[in-house]
Structures are given as C-alpha cells and as structure tokens.
Amino acid sequence: MSFQKIIGQKPIIQSLTNAINSEKIGHAYLFVGAEGIGKRTLARAFIKELLCEKKAMIDCSCRACRLMATNNHPDLIEVNPVGNSIKIEQLRELQKNAYFHPIYGKHKIFFFPEGEALTLAAANSLLKILEEPPPAVIFVFVATRLESLLPTIRSRCQVMHLFPVGIQELTDFLSKKGLSEAEIEKKIKESQGNLKKALAEEEAPQEELVSFPDFFSLDLLALLVKVNELEKKERNVILDLLQQIEIEARAELVNCIHKDVLNAKINVQQLVLFLEKIPDTINAIKSNCSQRLALETLIVSTKLLIDEGI
C-alpha cells in the first residue's frame, strides 16, 4: 500500500515524505500505536516508498514494488518472532548481512513488525549496530507500547506516534465505500478511531465486560460488581480489555465521541489523569499482582479523581 491510500496519520506521512524527498532519512524508526490503529500498514507503506525505484508515492509496478508485493525483495529483511519472541540467534545472521551492500537500491531495511517480541538479549545485541549502522541500513520497528522496547533502543529511533483516525476522515472513507449515513455513524461510534474495527465487515459478537464510559457512568458499587465478573477471566482477556479502554480513552481525547455521557462528569485534565493510570494497572497485572486488587485500585482512584473534581 502506498502513502496515498493510508487513512489518517497525515502529519506522520508528511514528515516521512519530507525525509524521503530531501534524502534526510534516519537510520531507525519506531511506529507506536494501539492495536488495530494501522501502524504496521503505515510502516510497510514507508518501506515501500523507501525501496520503490520510481519514488512514486502511489501504487506502482516497478521491479522493487513487484518484489515487495510478493515478499521477495532481497533488501527487505523482515524479522518475526519464532514462538513468542525474537531471539538473539535470529539476529546474528542479520547483523552480518547488514554490512553487505543492498542488492537493488540505496537502502537495506530490517523490519520488526512486532518489536515488543525482542528478548532483552536480542535487543541488547542490536545496540551497537543501531549506534553505528552501515550507511545503507534502516531499521523499522513497530510496537503497541513505547515502554515495551528498551530505552536504549527507543532513544536511537525516530518515534512516530499514531493517533486514532479523525471522525471526518473515517466518514469520508466509509461514505466512499457506499455505506449509508446511519451505518457510518454506527461504525464510527463502535470503532473509536480504530481502523481495524471500522473496516471490519462483520464484527464478532463481543461479551461486554466493562466499557470505557462505564468508569464514569456507573457508580462505585456497580463497577465493583463488574470486577467480580472480570476476576473470573483469564489475565490476557483483562489485559486486552484494559488496552481497549485505553484506546477508547485516547480516542475520546481526540474525537469527543461520548461527550454527552462524559462532559457532565469529567474534564479533559481528569481524562488525561485516567489515561495515565491504565498503564500502571496493566503493569501491575503483568507483574502478577492480584487482578482484583489492580482493577479495584483503578476504579477507586478514578472515582476519587471525579469526586475531587480536579
């Protein structure tokens, strides 16, 4: 996919296009954003623009673009987890390969679509080459959370933060697909700026455990009852749910989708403070803290936040 076909993320596309046009391309990029927001698609589009022989910025059928379309471009090396992680052994050959010239063009790209899967040892083994990369080499990492990569890796990358797609852009896109106004409104409400959801033809039925507006519309007792239900779920289900709530809260900051429910209850500053609490809850659960305790702390501290009227 070319930059031209990407929905949203215009400031990032502009900055990457400027870098390509002025030939001031960095040696390492990190695309960060919530699941489903389109960060891998954007990273792949950037790689396509880097390797395209015509620098076409649109769909193109040059040799490089054809090879990329079939995952056969020799100067694009994609590194995926084996099992659950990317291990140091996988990177040994890669690091040797980095010192050979690219076969077709000016660049050789090492692409990590799941950057958070790097083990500590694997990430550490990349530091030297990231510090002094061979001139043709460009590293492209993708991650859902910035903190999931070592600070020493992050600091060597140009970080691109993706934001939920704006209502207007989504509306324009969905109306071009021929959806009715009512369908578009429904999709936008459900997707919260999450492209994967907005573009899904059919949504899998989802069990409603607790949603983002619940934190503000339900009273403390009703929320604690929900925690009872949640506690029976697996850790991953709860982590996914918290991540979804974080996506929705971020989308709310940009698009004010639930302003009818939320405006009376909280202001922007409180919403930002709520957003800051979610990673703490996720980290607590990841480090094997009691799920119930972590969720109750989030709920009670959110309620205090509202009551104190900061």
**Residue 65 binding Zn ion, by CB under 5 A:** yes
**What DSSP character marks residue 179?**
-
What does the alpha-carbon distance between residue 142 and residue 160 come to, in Å, rounded to a whole number? 9
Residue 71, C-beta contacts closer than 8 angstroms, at least 6 positions apart:
78
Nearest to 304 by CA among 275, 274, 262, 261: 274
**Residue 57 binding Zn ion, by CB under 5 A:** no
Q: Which of 25, 62, 136, 275 binds Zn ion (CB under 5 A)?
A: 62
Q: Identify which of residues 68 and 238 has a Cβ nearer to Zn ion in the complex.
A: 68
Using the contact rule CB under 5 A, the part of the chain among 53-61, 89-97, 164-172, 278-286 near Zn ion is 53-61
Q: How far is the CB of 41 from Zn ion (least distance, A)?
A: 17
Q: Identify which of residues 63 and 277 has a Cβ nearer to Zn ion in the complex.
A: 63
Side chain identity at residue 118, one-letter code: L
What does the alpha-carbon distance between residue 213 and residue 249 come to, in Å, rounded to a whole number? 9
- The per-residue DSSP string of 79-92 comes to ---BTTBB-HHHHH
Sign (positive or negative) of CA dihedral 268, 159, 161, 147: negative
Using the contact rule CB under 5 A, the part of the chain among 58-66, 72-80, 185-193, 299-307 near Zn ion is 58-66
**Residue 20 binding Zn ion, by CB under 5 A:** no
Using the contact rule CB under 5 A, the part of the chain among 4-12, 57-65, 167-175, 212-220 near Zn ion is 57-65
Q: Which of 30, 37, 52, 238 binds Zn ion (CB under 5 A)?
A: 52
What does the alpha-carbon distance between residue 59 and residue 48 come to, in Å, rounded to a whole number? 10
**Residue 251 binding Zn ion, by CB under 5 A:** no
Instruction: Specify burial of residue 89 (Cβ count, 10 A radius: 0-12, 13-18, 19+).
Output: exposed
Q: Which of 19, 57, 60, 224 binds Zn ion (CB under 5 A)?
A: 60
Using the contact rule CB under 5 A, the part of the chain among 59-67, 163-171, 225-233, 275-283 near Zn ion is 59-67
Task: Please report, as ranges, the residues that interact with Zn ion according to CB under 5 A.
Answer: 52, 54, 60, 62, 65
